[in-house]
Amino acid sequence: MPESTEEPRLPAASLVAFISRALTKVGLPDADAATVAGLMVQADLRGSDGHGIFRLPQYVRRIRAGGLNVTPQIRVVQEADAMALVDGDNGMGHLVMSRAAEVAVEKAKRSGIGWVGVRQSNHAGPAALYAMMPLKHDMIGIYMAVGSANHLPPWGGIDLLLSTNPIAYALPALEEPPLVLDMATTVAAYGKVKTKAQRGETMPEGWMIDYQGKPLTDPRRADEGFLLPIGEYKGYGLALIFGLLAGTLNGAAFGRYVVDFNRDDTTTTNTGHVIIALDVARFSPVESFKRGVDSIVRDMRASRRMEGVERILVPGEQSHAIWQERSANGVPVGPALRAELDKLAAALGIEPLA
């Protein structure tokens, strides 16, 4: 497991409490602050270090700059038996998406599937969190989003017109952990670049190139190049399609209208997402499907291996193991992040992370 064992650990509950303090201080209602804090720390627990408490200073900055509505009226603006369009009223993405996932599950209960498009939302953290929400209803979840900053040109181009637009799928299993694939359409997600920069590490070749097409490995120079899509034109195609489905179709920003939320704290981002819930029971007895997933997972794991490969993994297996380990031992909070969070506590006049 890729843990920096030197980093001090803090219990998840402390992180949740700290995030809640910070968010209520800047105006979120208690219940909403708790919901957002819980989801942000789920990201940390699952090893999505670029999407958890790491993002708190940025969220607070945007809220204090007036770029985000702390008391949004999140509502369904259009609906049919199996779809809905949710307007997030510029609220925290975590709140908007939690509501959208509920609507998708309700629709799927009635009609077999619920497809919910979302506009006027904001950055919501890792895709997996939302794809996993239907799981407890024995449903399959699928999530797509327009990323919150453009770091990808069309294939062959150099203008940053696309984000890493991610997709996540979550499928329930019986004895195995759920199968959860959460992937950017780029080789690396931009959050990973930011984490590398914060840790003073270099990036492997293949993550980014500069405008002359040369490999870019210094994450502090990220502005001088762009991310590479998976499978070349295929990843570009996926980023484009997910952007149209999560953005354009919902009346959310996509393409040159995407606000770079890393540089701009005030302009409404109008972030778009899609959450789909699919009711397994409509297709197959639930236990039989879950047993089928287990069986496929075990067949993959039992494959003969290439030389040097110790274990065959399935999507979500590493995140699940990290989640178990961090739930038991706490979330690593390195010195750089710790310093930022202490600075934030001082600026807000709240009790620091303990």
- Restricted to residues 2-61, the positions that interact with a second copy (CB under 8 A) are none
- Pick the piece of the chain touching a second copy (CB under 8 A) from 7-15, 58-66, 229-237, 258-266: 229-237
Q: Which of 76, 234, 324, 327 binds a second copy (CB under 8 A)?
A: 234
β-pairing, 83-87 with 113-121?
A: parallel
Give one word for 190, left, alpha or beta, with left for phi > 0 and alpha for psi -120 to 50: alpha
Q: Which is nearer to a second copy, 59 or 169 (CB)?
A: 169
User: Residue 260 in contact with residue 266, Cβ under 8 Å?
Assistant: no
Q: Which of 17, 82, 321, 347 binds a second copy (CB under 8 A)?
A: 82
Q: How far is CA 46 from CA 3, 37, 59, 228, 310, in A?
A: 12, 14, 20, 25, 22
- Least CB distance from residue 303 to a second copy, whole Å? 3
- Pick the piece of the chain touching a second copy (CB under 8 A) from 42-50, 91-99, 311-319, 344-352: 311-319
User: Residue 107 in contact with residue 277, Cβ under 8 Å?
Assistant: yes
Instruction: Return the residues of window 164-193 that contact a second copy according to CB under 8 A.
Output: 169, 171, 179, 181, 183, 187
Instruction: Return the residues of window 95-134 that contact a second copy according to CB under 8 A.
Output: 107, 110-115, 117
Would you give the DSSP letter of residue 204?
P
Coil/strand/helix, residue 15: helix
Would you give the DSSP letter of residue 78?
E
**Contact status: 204 vs a second copy (CB under 8 A):** no
Q: Which of 101, 140, 216, 345 binds a second copy (CB under 8 A)?
A: 140
- Least CB distance from residue 43 to a second copy, whole Å? 19
User: Residue 135 in contact with residue 170, Cβ under 8 Å?
Assistant: yes
**Contact status: 292 vs a second copy (CB under 8 A):** yes
User: Residue 227 in contact with residue 147, Cβ under 8 Å?
Assistant: no
| CA nearest neighbour of 115 among 138, 141, 94, 135 | 141
Q: Which of 225, 315, 330, 332 binds a second copy (CB under 8 A)?
A: 315
Integer Cα distance of 168 and 341 in angstroms: 29
Q: Which of 17, 34, 83, 174 binds a second copy (CB under 8 A)?
A: 83
Q: Which of 11, 57, 154, 215 binds a second copy (CB under 8 A)?
A: 154
Integer Cα distance of 140 and 127 in angstroms: 14
Q: Which of 153, 177, 215, 352 binds a second copy (CB under 8 A)?
A: 153
Q: Which of 73, 200, 263, 307 binds a second copy (CB under 8 A)?
A: 307
- Pick the piece of the chain touching a second copy (CB under 8 A) from 62-70, 189-197, 215-223, 300-308: 300-308
**Contact status: 221 vs a second copy (CB under 8 A):** no
In the shown chain, the binding pattern of residues 239 to 278 toward a second copy, with x for contact by CB under 8 A and - for none, equals -xx-xxx--xxxx--xxx---------------------x
Integer Cα distance of 82 and 233 in angstroms: 32
Count of residues of this chain found to bind a second copy when the rule CB under 8 A is applied:
77
- Least CB distance from residue 57 to a second copy, whole Å? 30
Integer Cα distance of 353 and 344 in angstroms: 10
Q: How many CB atoms lie within 10 A of CB 270?
A: 22
In the shown chain, the binding pattern of residues 58 to 77 toward a second copy, with x for contact by CB under 8 A and - for none, equals --------------------
| Residues whose CB falls within 8 Å of the CB of residue 347, separated by 6 or more in sequence, listed in order | none
